[in-house]
Amino acid sequence: MGQREVLAIAALRRLTFAQLVSLFGDLVAIFGVFSIVSFRMHGSPAEVSSVLLAYMLPQAFVSLVAGVFVDRWDVKRTMVVSDLIRAVLVLALLQATALWQIYAVMISLSAVGAFFMPAQAIALRSVVPAEGLVAANALMMQTYQVTQIFTPGIAALLTKWIGESACFWLDCVSFLFSAGMVMTLPIARKAAGTGKAMGTVVADLREGVRFIFTHATLAFTIVSMAAGLFAVRCYSALIAVYVRDILHASSGLFGTLGTLIGVGMILGTQVVTRLSKNRSKEHLMMGGLFMVAMGILVLALVGTVLTTVLATLWMGTGVALVKISAQTLMQGQTPMEMLGRVSSSSMSVMSFAQAGGLIVSGSIAQMIGIQRSYLATSALLTVIAAVGWRVVDKRVADRAAISA
């Protein structure tokens, strides 16, 4: 199915619209937080970057167990309650006067959001047939990237004209809107029940992890996506300094590159929908990893504005190939009754990979320089993509032989 066909599904349109509004609110609120910490509290670079870590790391830990409960709970109710709780939490930022209070709210928002994401994956799988998952995931990514491109400018105007409080009120309203839209979704999945002992929770968690690591395709998919996101975080953590010290350009180029990575990912959503008709999703993942590796290699070897712009667009397209193919494989290969655990476990791995990229990249660049750091990242991704391609070739050949 193409995007036109999946858009004909009314439930998917409502789910996509809910995500669009909610994402807009989240990005506006995060902009408001960074504005307060940077300009009103005059936070140090470490304090500013800690805001992002406070929002990212809780998902890595909470997601490990969130999926167990999402697989037991009613999916629609889980999503609605998560939205309502976050609508209240974000208003606490209106009263925050110290950094620790902002960190506490960001940690809480992240922890509650860890239950929403696997529930959303189940909702998507419930309302879209298997043959429409690639196009549906591409549509959701397009929604995210388009929102990411236009939100910073709108958020900047809001903070200038009204103040950061407008960002937090808007995010609250976006959560309420999302909850209202989710309530209309026809999600057909029977909840497994909540009356189980804590020991059974641990057993369910162990069962989900065992399923991932004994399912070759899922394990391969999660490792590939983690490698791609680790590389992207290494790139994004250093790109501002790269623009300043290597390109000797202004912050305007830095902002433009942030937009271009989103444009590249939007282009990738169009490419992956077409390529998936006659290419395996595993091959598309490895191709995407190789594209990201080549883009980072260009940054390492050639330090010009033009090559940086082109490499950024190229990398964005590659990231889209990896993420959409990986998400579709996970949704298609996982039984519905385990989708919450598998989705949340993959989210945990992704969060750790991205946090690792943010933490490690700065230290490595400090020791060997930005360009050598990018060169090492590119080499790592190239090896993973090359080995993965050979594994995929063998797997596809084995499937063809069995089919024959």
Q: What percent of the chain has pLDDT over 90?
A: 7
Report yes or no on 64 lying in a domain: yes
Of 159, 186, 213, which residue is a domain's last?
186
- For residue 297, the model assigns a pLDDT of 93
Distance CA 169, CA 18 (A): 17
- For residue 298, the model assigns a pLDDT of 92
- For residue 339, the model assigns a pLDDT of 73
Taking Cα atoms as reference points, which of 232, 239, 301 lies closest to residue 264?
Answer: 232
Report yes or no on 5 lying in a domain: yes
Answer yes or no: do 37 and 112 share one domain.
yes
Q: Mean pLDDT for the chain?
A: 79
Q: What is the pLDDT of residues 113-133, one digit of tens each?
A: 888 888 888 888 888 887 888
Report yes or no on 191 lying in a domain: no
- For residue 361, the model assigns a pLDDT of 73
In this structure, what are the phi and psi dihedrals at residue 224, rounded to the nearest 5 degrees?
Answer: -65, -45
Give the three-class secondary structure for 270. Answer: helix
**How many angstroms separate the Cα of 201 from the Cα of each of 113, 152, 342?**
20, 41, 14
Answer yes or no: do 118 and 220 share one domain.
no
Answer yes or no: do 330 and 257 share one domain.
yes
Compute the half-sphere exposure of residue 250: CA atoms within 13 Å on the CB side of its CA.
1
Taking Cα atoms as reference points, which of 188, 197, 225, 191 lies closest to residue 321?
Answer: 225
Q: Is 391 exposed, middle or buried (0-12, 13-18, 19+ CB in 10 A)?
A: middle
Distance CA 27, CA 155 (A): 8
Confidence of residue 44 (pLDDT cuts 50, 70, 90): low
Report yes or no on 93 lying in a domain: yes
Answer yes or no: do 285 and 237 share one domain.
yes
Answer yes or no: do 37 and 138 share one domain.
yes
Distance CA 227, CA 378 (A): 11
Answer yes or no: do 158 and 201 share one domain.
no
Answer yes or no: do 172 and 200 share one domain.
no
Helix, strand, coil distribution of the chain in percent, nearest 5: 85, 0, 15
Per-residue pLDDT for 104 more than 60?
A: yes
Indicate the length of the chain as a whole number.
Answer: 404
Confidence of residue 374 (pLDDT cuts 50, 70, 90): confident
Per-residue pLDDT for 94 more than 90?
A: no
Q: Between 233 and 192, whose confidence is greater? A: 233
Distance CA 220, CA 350 (A): 13
Answer yes or no: do 64 and 173 share one domain.
yes
**Residue 292 burial (CB count, 10 A):** 29
Give the highest mean pLDDT range of 157-161, 239-243, 375-379.
375-379
- For residue 229, the model assigns a pLDDT of 76
Per-residue pLDDT for 370 more than 70?
A: yes
In this structure, what are the phi and psi dihedrals at residue 226, rounded to the nearest 5 degrees?
Answer: -65, -40
Average pLDDT for residues 378-387, to the nearest whole number?
Answer: 87
Q: What percent of the chain has pLDDT over 70?
A: 88
Per-residue pLDDT for 387 more than 80?
A: yes
Kind and range of the H or E element at 238? helix 216-245
Answer yes or no: do 269 and 139 share one domain.
no
- For residue 127, the model assigns a pLDDT of 82
Q: What is the pLDDT of residues 275-296, one digit of tens each?
A: 877 777 888 888 888 998 999 9
Distance CA 177, CA 17 (A): 10
Give the three-class secondary structure for 295. Answer: helix
Answer yes or no: do 138 and 236 share one domain.
no
pTM confidence score:
0.68
Q: Between 131 and 366, whose confidence is greater? A: 131
Number of helices and strands in the chain (H, E)? 14, 0
- For residue 34, the model assigns a pLDDT of 74
Of 160, 186, 212, which residue is a domain's last?
186
Confidence of residue 200 (pLDDT cuts 50, 70, 90): low
Report yes or no on 317 lying in a domain: yes
C-beta of residue 381 within 8 angstroms of C-beta of residue 299 = no
Confidence of residue 252 (pLDDT cuts 50, 70, 90): low
Per-residue pLDDT for 17 more than 80?
A: yes
Answer yes or no: do 127 and 163 share one domain.
yes
Report yes or no on 352 lying in a domain: yes
The number of folded domains in the chain is 2
Answer yes or no: do 173 and 214 share one domain.
no
CATH number at residue 246: 1.20.1250.20
Q: Between 42 and 98, whose confidence is greater? A: 98
Report yes or no on 255 lying in a domain: yes
Average pLDDT for residues 291-319, to the nearest whole number?
Answer: 90
Which domain covers residue 216, as residue numbers?
A: 196-404
Q: Is 53 exposed, middle or buried (0-12, 13-18, 19+ CB in 10 A)?
A: middle
Of 153, 186, 219, which residue is a domain's last?
186
